[in-house]
Amino acid sequence: MLRKPYQFLLVLFFIILFCAPIYLLFRGHPSLQISLIEDRVLGLPEKSYPTLKIAIEYIQQGRLDLAFDLVWKLYTEGALQKKVDLAATDLFPLRMSIILFSKAMDRTIIELSYQFTGDSVIPADMTSGLFIMLDEKVLIYPPATLDKNDEIYIQQKLGNYRELSTSFPEVNFYIYYIEALEFSPYNPLNKYYPKADKGQAFEDFIENLPETISVEMLSLESLEEHLQNFYRTDHHWNTNGILKGYDEIYDLLAEKYPNIPDKLLPTEMVTFEDIQFQGTFDRQTLYPIPGDTFTGFNADFPSCKVKEDGVEGQYNSRDKYLKGEYSTLPYVSHYGLYFGTQKGMIEFDCEVNADRNLLIIGDSYARPLVSLLAAQYKHTYFVDLRQNKDFTLSGFLRQYPVKDILFVGGPNVIFLDADQWNVKIN
């Protein structure tokens, strides 16, 4: 027995207090740690301090002033402190178990708070802003409510489309809008958000869009349609939605492209039975629901050479998946791996009987479409403006003769985020 009662607290407290530094001291130098859930490398000091390494090299070379300048800058900007703070948290013993426990506590408090409301759609955790539809086990965003700044952005986007259509009259512009649940009249939370957008912003946007731009959308006509076309644990559209989107885009392009080659039809639908796809929403909330069934499809894809940012490569891992070569670890980003990776510019040069080229401007929603639409064009280019900040349309068209330009995406890409998605002309 302890001699004095207070020793009990002291011993336990100091054991806990010293356990983390001792653990860090004795764990040695493990290899690179990647957190799949957070999609990042966990902060290991020796891996994260290139500046410090350079400073040490300077010291070894006797160039102390340069070393001091480097470290001083790192320190006064707070970068050094932030990295140490992050590493201390990242490398804490049992970190992931602690986070899971905390999320479980979040859920208990939320369920307690909503006990008396009878709501069937409640927050999935306390931090992500995502909700869970309890009956359907679907994670969703709450309705979007737009403010004056958003209205300014919409006007800026409209101005950009007008400028594009007048500056490049010889080019056909198309918009394919993927209606997100948070902007839809069918979001089950709309009744609690008196200022919910419910699709109004897009309607206003369309009314003011130049008539020369052709528009089509993956419209949600009911909540069930959302459940059919999108994953339960991820914000992306699933195979069903993708194929529906491709169908509609094909028809849209065909209006001004009389000789368009035949539509690509899926020859095989594949369900990867051993994959539980736990998408972005799942990663953010760690909500204990089963992952999505992950499906893909095969088709008579034409033979293409693919360049990613000018370098020849493999756009996606579809072929590997179809051969059964994939990871079944939880939280793997199957959508990205299967449908295509994100780069500044992807170029498809395909053996297709076509004389036109297509430029697709869009985000991750457009990735699965690229390999499908490449079957209708000689050259298909895919630009993600978030990763291609220097992109100008004049510059691009000088280099690549393109007749059709297609914008694909959700609200941010199409009408809301002018900062990221306005196309610079010069």
Partner 1 sequence: MPFSSITFIFLFLPIIILLFYIVRKSLWRNIILVGSSLVFFAWSDPIHIHVLFLSILINYFWGRWIGKALDENNQKLARVHMWLGVFLNLSLLGFYKYTGFFLDILDALLPITITTATKSLPLGISFFTFSGISYILDIYNKVTPPERNLIHFSSYLIMFPKLLQGPITRLIEIRDELAHPKFIPLGIMQGVRRFIGGLAKKVILADSLSIATTKIFASEFSEMGAGLAWFGILAYTLQIYLDFSGYTDMAIGVGQMLGFNLPENFNFPYISHSISDFWRRWHITLGAWFRTYLFIPLEFARKKEKFLRQQSNLLIVFLLTGLWHGASWNFVIWGAYYGVILAIEASGFGKKLKKAAPFVQHVYSLALIIIGWVFFRITDIQSWGSFFGALFGMNGWRDSVTFRSLNVLFYVPFLIPAILFSLPLMHRLGENAKAKGGIYLVLLDIGYIILFVFTLTFIISKGFTAFMYAEF
Considering the complex, what minimum distance in angstroms separates the CB of residue 233 from partner 1? 20
List of E strands, 287-387? 292-299, 304-308, 311-312, 345-350, 357-362, 379-383
Q: Which residues pair with 306 in a beta bridge?
A: 348
What is the Cα–Cα distance from 46 to 29, expressed in whole angstroms? 9
Residue with tokens 């909700």, as numbered in its chain: 131
Site for partner 1 in 57-86 (CB under 8 A): 75-76, 78, 81, 84-85
40 near partner 1, rule: CB under 8 A = no
> Which x/- pattern, by CB under 8 A, does the window 17-36 give for partner 1?
xx-xx---------------
* Nearer CB in complex with partner 1: 100/215: 100
Q: 3-state class of 306 per DSSP?
A: strand
Which residue in the set 50, 194, 258, 324 belongs to the binding site for partner 1 (CB under 8 A)? 194
> Which x/- pattern, by CB under 8 A, does the window 377-406 give for partner 1?
------------------------------
CB 225 within 8 A of CB 238: no
Task: Find all residues with CB under 8 Å of 359, minimum gap 6, and list them.
Answer: 380, 381, 382, 383, 396, 400, 402, 404, 405, 406
* Nearer CB in complex with partner 1: 117/426: 117
* Nearer CB in complex with partner 1: 81/219: 81
**CB neighbours of residue 185 within 10 Å:** 16
Task: Find all residues with CB under 8 Å of 63, minimum gap 6, and list them.
Answer: none
Task: Find all residues with CB under 8 Å of 268, minimum gap 6, and list them.
Answer: 297, 298, 299
Which residue in the set 33, 61, 120, 127 belongs to the binding site for partner 1 (CB under 8 A)? 127
* Nearer CB in complex with partner 1: 25/311: 25
Which residue in the set 34, 105, 254, 269 belongs to the binding site for partner 1 (CB under 8 A)? 105
Candidates 20, 22, 328, 287; CA nearest to 129 is: 287
141 near partner 1, rule: CB under 8 A = no
Site for partner 1 in 143-162 (CB under 8 A): 145
Considering the complex, what minimum distance in angstroms separates the CB of residue 144 from partner 1? 12
Considering the complex, what minimum distance in angstroms separates the CB of residue 131 from partner 1? 8
Which residue in the set 66, 88, 217, 332 belongs to the binding site for partner 1 (CB under 8 A)? 88
Structure-token pair, residue 318: 């579809």
What is the Cα–Cα distance from 270 to 292, expressed in whole angstroms? 14
Structure-token pair, residue 200: 């109004």
> Which x/- pattern, by CB under 8 A, does the window 163-192 give for partner 1?
--------------------------x--x
Candidates 369, 378, 373, 355; CA nearest to 305 is: 378
Instruction: For residue 82, count CB atoms less than 10 angstroms from its CB and return exposed for 0-12, middle for 13-18, buried for 19 or more.
Output: exposed
Site for partner 1 in 303-342 (CB under 8 A): none
9 near partner 1, rule: CB under 8 A = yes
How many residues belong to the site for partner 1 (CB under 8 A)? Answer: 47
Structure-token pair, residue 128: 């992500």
Q: Which stretch binds partner 1 (CB under 8 A): 9-17, 36-44, 293-301, 351-359?
A: 9-17
Q: Which stretch binds partner 1 (CB under 8 A): 25-33, 112-120, 198-206, 414-422?
A: 112-120
Q: Which whole-number Å values give the CA distances from 353 to 260, 272, 293, 370, in the listed order?
A: 9, 33, 36, 17
353 near partner 1, rule: CB under 8 A = no
Site of interaction with partner 1 (CB under 8 A):
4-10, 12-13, 16-18, 20-21, 75-76, 78, 81, 84-85, 88-89, 92, 95, 98-99, 101-103, 105, 109-110, 112-114, 117, 123, 126-127, 129, 142, 145, 189, 192-195
